[in-house]
Amino acid sequence: MKEMKFIREIAIRAAKRAGRILKKGLEGVVTVSYKGDLNLVTNIDNLSEEAIVALINKHFPEHQVLAEEGHDRTRPSPFRWIIDPLDGTTNYAHRFPFFCVSIAVEIKGKVHLGVIFDPLRNELFFAEKGKGAFLNEKPIRTSSVISLKKSLLVTGFAYDVRTDPINNFNHFINFSMKAQGVRRTGSAALDLCYVASGRFDGFWELKLRPWDTAAGSLILTEAGGRLSDFSGKPFSIYDSETLASNGKIHREMIGVLQKTR
């Protein structure tokens, strides 16, 4: 589809343009404000989102936009761009080098395109529905690990971790006792890409938003991975449970998650 090729080009261009803003921003003062006790936003989040949306507006003014920092647009269009201009904002604010730009395109409610760019490592993860997943234009696949005890997992914690008893600590303890190791990186989008490329074997998290998972979920499935909720039911970027794996350890992960139900 000619239109899809152009959408792909603009998505990649937007991700790289935003990535340059993130990288340049680390050289100056990062201004932080708060949307809650722990949920922060920086001036760079906003600059990145403005650059992405400006490019979309220029080429696709009729498309819908759903963006984390509020540059939303509703239109009678089957196309919707889902944008996280800086996934890993807390990392970024502390200059911890693990963050990215995430851009997805939905068509009639289904994600057809995902682009995630890590500007510090110059790693561009990309997938188009039915065409495979890639890292810097080279195909990627999930790992071949077949048992949880030999798996390296990754997770994260929601911003209301201090106030909501549904906070993932129970699952973290249970997986720590079963897996070879568990990590917490601070960027769900990159976590999904790392499962897709075999750097991690599985990932789970609660209370993620569509901009956290839209691009990464497509990259993962196109790389041969599996997604579901914690009980094994079909995954949705609009639901509160995300379980991702190489597919081979998925049943074991569901078993651990169901222990505390």
Residues 77 and 163 in one domain: no
Residue pair 52/12 in contact (Cβ under 8 Å)? The answer is: no
Residues 134 and 193 in one domain: no
Residue that finishes a domain, picked among 139, 159, 181: 139
Reading the block at residue 25, the tokens are 């921003």
Residues 8 and 127 in one domain: yes
Q: What pLDDT was estimated at residue 37?
A: 66
Residue that finishes a domain, picked among 104, 139, 174: 139
Reading the block at residue 69, the tokens are 């920092």
Residue 47's closest CA among 7, 92, 98?
92
Residues 247 and 152 in one domain: yes
Q: What pLDDT was estimated at residue 160?
A: 81
Residues 87 and 161 in one domain: no
Q: What is the pLDDT along the chain (261 residues), one digit of tens a residue?
A: 668 999 999 999 999 999 999 999 999 888 888 876 667 788 999 999 999 999 999 999 999 999 988 888 888 899 999 999 999 999 999 999 999 999 999 999 999 999 999 999 999 999 999 999 999 999 999 999 999 999 999 999 987 878 888 889 999 999 999 999 999 999 999 999 999 999 999 999 999 999 999 999 999 999 999 999 999 999 999 999 999 999 999 999 999 999 876
Residues 186 and 63 in one domain: no
Q: Where are the beta strands (DSSP E) in the chain?
A: 32-34, 40-42, 64-67, 79-87, 100-107, 110-118, 123-128, 133-135, 138-139, 152-155, 181-184, 202-206, 226-228, 241-245
Tell me how far apart the alpha carbons of residues 6 and 260 are, in angstroms, rounded to a whole number: 46
Q: What pLDDT was estimated at residue 213?
A: 98
CA 156 to chain centre: 12
What's the CA angle centered on 198, arms 127 and 156, to 5 degrees?
Answer: 85
Residue that finishes a domain, picked among 120, 139, 158: 139
Range of the domain at 79: 2-139
- The count of structural domains within the chain is 2
Q: What pLDDT was estimated at residue 253?
A: 98
Name the strands in the sheet holding 110-118, side by side, starting at the edge strand that comes first in the sequence: 64-67, 79-87, 100-107, 110-118, 123-128, 133-135, 138-139
Residue pair 154/183 in contact (Cβ under 8 Å)? The answer is: yes
Q: What's the CATH code of the domain at 160? A: 3.40.190.80
Residues 252 and 183 in one domain: yes
